[in-house]
Amino acid sequence: MSPPPDPRAERAEDEDEPLAAGEGSIATLHAQGDVPGLLALARAHRSGNGAPRDLRRCLEAYQSAAALGDGDAAYAVALFHLSGGVVPQDLKEGAAMLRTAADRGNLQAKVYLGNLYELGVHYKADAEKADVWYRNAARSAAIEPEAEDFARAMAELGCVRYFLELDAAGALSPEESAALSLKARSHGYLLKLREEGERASTFDPLVDARLSALPAGPGASAAARPEGSSSPAVDPVPGDKPAPEGKPKPKPKPKGPGHARTGLAAFGYALLFMLAGVGAGYAAMRGAEVLIADGKTLPVLGTRAELALPILVAAVGMLPAVLVYRLGAVVKGAVVAAMFAGVGWVAWGTGEGALVAHRGAQTLAFAVAGFLSGLLVLGLMGGAKAPKAR
């Protein structure tokens, strides 16, 4: 196979020491299980310092180290395939190697995967899957989600969502915006920009910069790189199908400011669902009472007509919320509803907290209030599904 670029841009040039005389071929080093030797050979072929400059041999050395289980080498191989150039661009193979590197603990691969899902490059855009990889990367980098500077710390890792949010909010100076844009581009954002028509002006220098950043041996994770280091600016190109000429896709809209608008719209639908559920439940309950009074036993309900109301509230009022909210938000809303229901049940039992004549009715009312309140808050925090782009 052959070699392209790699964004491990955070290592000093002094790692490009000449390859010691007598070091073996790729096949020999592989047979010996010598991952550090393979990485050194890859660097030597990249820089031409100690071995002939040959990016194809560089890639082969990384592939051999990746086959021996090295996550950093797997990330390097992914970048070659994602960027194209020395080997044909292959988004599918690149994404598969990213997943391998991420599973082996490579921080940059986790960030890259989150960005691919966030931007809809190669994969279908999926904010929930992006969240999974972003959270995974945050844990690897020891970034606390509750920290005040969480968004900035994530943007400094290269997470495009947080860079776009900070940039859209005007929270970055021009210098910070340029630096964080560079970081995001080196972790997949450039693929999206190229998909929209942008073209890189140079290639080989970027290849050198990114490959020179790879760690010297197995286990040297991206999280261990010195603070303040920056990653070079280049990355792969767009998904499996290139964007049609003359029809660039719209740039991704930054998330954050749109959360409130999307959340309120989703809450409006949730409120309509709930009103329909309560109305249908009440009508069904009254109808069941008439039938039971005539001596009939109803399926599911038996002789308990009052069960019709909560059943239809759940089926018509709560379940359809998954159409406008992410599943996780709906589940959390249901948990809040259960907590509120418990409060209503206990409050009614005290006597002083009995707001209606029937204990079950008060419990259901509290549950409905809790569910809607939970969805409102979660929607404003980003739990609502964004409208599909047309």
- Within this chain, do residues 291 and 337 fall inside the same structural domain, yes or no? yes
Give a yes or no: residue 241 inside a domain. no
Q: Exposure pattern of 194-229 as b/e (b: 16+ CB <10 Å)?
A: bbeeeebeeeeebbbbbbbbbbeebebbbbebeeee
Q: Residues 126, 186: one domain?
A: yes
Domain match, 150 and 19 both: yes
Supply the pLDDT for residue 96. 93
Residue 154 lies in a domain: yes
Tokens 């960027």 belong to residue: 83
Residue 68 or residue 197, greater confidence: 68
Note the pLDDT tens digit of each residue in 273-307. Answer: 889 988 888 888 888 888 888 888 888 778 887 88
Of residues 122 and 382, which shows the higher confidence score? 122
Residue at a domain's end among 191, 220, 249:
220
| Position 226 in a domain | no
* All residues at 6 or more sequence positions from 177 whose CB lies less than 8 Å from its CB, including other chains: 167
pLDDT band at 143 (very low <50, low <70, confident <90, very high): very high
Q: What CA dihedral angle connects 344, 346, 352 and 357, to 10 degrees?
A: 60
What is this structure's pTM?
Answer: 0.50
Residues 184 and 328 in one domain: no
270 shares a domain with 344: yes
**What's at 47, amino acid-wise?**
S
356 compared with 96, residue with greater pLDDT: 96
Confidence of residue 388 (pLDDT cuts 50, 70, 90): low
- On whether residue 231 sits in a domain, the answer given is no
Question: Among all chains, which residue has been given the structure tokens 């490059």?
Answer: 121
> Is pLDDT above 80 for 204?
no
Give the lowest-confidence range in 222-236, 312-326, 376-390: 222-236
Same-domain check for residues 71 and 142: yes
229 vs 60: which has the higher pLDDT: 60
For residue 246, tell me if it sits in a domain. Answer: no
- Mark whether 284 and 211 lie in a shared domain: no
Do residue 302 and residue 207 come from a single domain?
A: no
Residue-number span of the structural domain to which 172 is assigned: 13-220
Give the list of residues 6+ apart from residue 295 with CB closer than 8 angstroms, or none: none
Q: Which residue has the higher pLDDT, 213 or 197?
A: 197
**Domain count along the chain:** 2
Residues paired with residue 384 on neighbouring β-strands, in sequence order: 325
pLDDT over 70, % of the chain: 76
- In the Cβ-directed half-sphere of 383, how many Cα atoms lie within 13 Å? 21
**How does residue 180 score in pLDDT terms, banded at 50, 70 and 90?**
very high
Secondary structure of 106-167 as H, E, C letters: CHHHHHHHHHHHHHCCCCCCCHHHHHHHHHHHHHHCCCCCCCCCHHHHHHHHCCHHHHHHHH
Q: Say how far apart CA 242 and CA 234 lie, in whole Å.
A: 18
Establish if 389 belongs to a structural domain: no
- Interval 139-146 mean pLDDT: 90
> Is 122's pLDDT higher than 60?
yes
Q: What is the pLDDT of residue 258?
A: 52
Average pLDDT of the segment spanning 125-131:
91
* Single-letter amino acid code for the residue at 387: P
Q: Given this model, what pLDDT does residue 213 score?
A: 52
Q: Supply the pLDDT for residue 260.
A: 73
Dump pLDDT digits (tens) for 227-272: 333 333 333 333 333 334 344 444 444 444 455 778 888 888 888 9
Same-domain pairing of 209 and 323: no
Top pLDDT among 183 and 204 is at 183
Q: Is the dihedral of CA 290, 295, 300, 306 positive or negative?
A: positive
pLDDT of 284 reads 85
Axis crossing angle, helix 107-119 with helix 91-103, rounded to the nearest 10: 130
Instruction: Rank 13-17, 45-49, 194-198, 336-340 by mean pLDDT and report only the highest.
Output: 336-340
d(CA 323, CA 317): 12
Token pair recorded at residue 82: 């994602």
The mean per-residue pLDDT over the stretch 72-94 comes to 89
Structure confidence at residue 389 as a pLDDT band (50, 70, 90): very low
How large is the average pLDDT for residues 80-99?
89
Q: Are residues 85 and 214 in the same domain?
A: yes
Looking at the structure, tell me whether residues 140 and 264 fall in a common domain. no
Per the domain annotation, does 390 fall within a domain?
A: no
* Per-residue confidence (pLDDT) for residue 196, from 0 to 100: 72
Predicted confidence (pLDDT) at residue 314 exceeds the cutoff of 70? yes
pLDDT, mean of residues 146-157: 90
> Mean pLDDT in the chain?
77
- What pLDDT was estimated at residue 359? 83
Mean pLDDT, residues 209-227 = 43
Same domain, 265 and 215: no
Examine residue 249 and state whether it is found in any structural domain, yes or no.
no
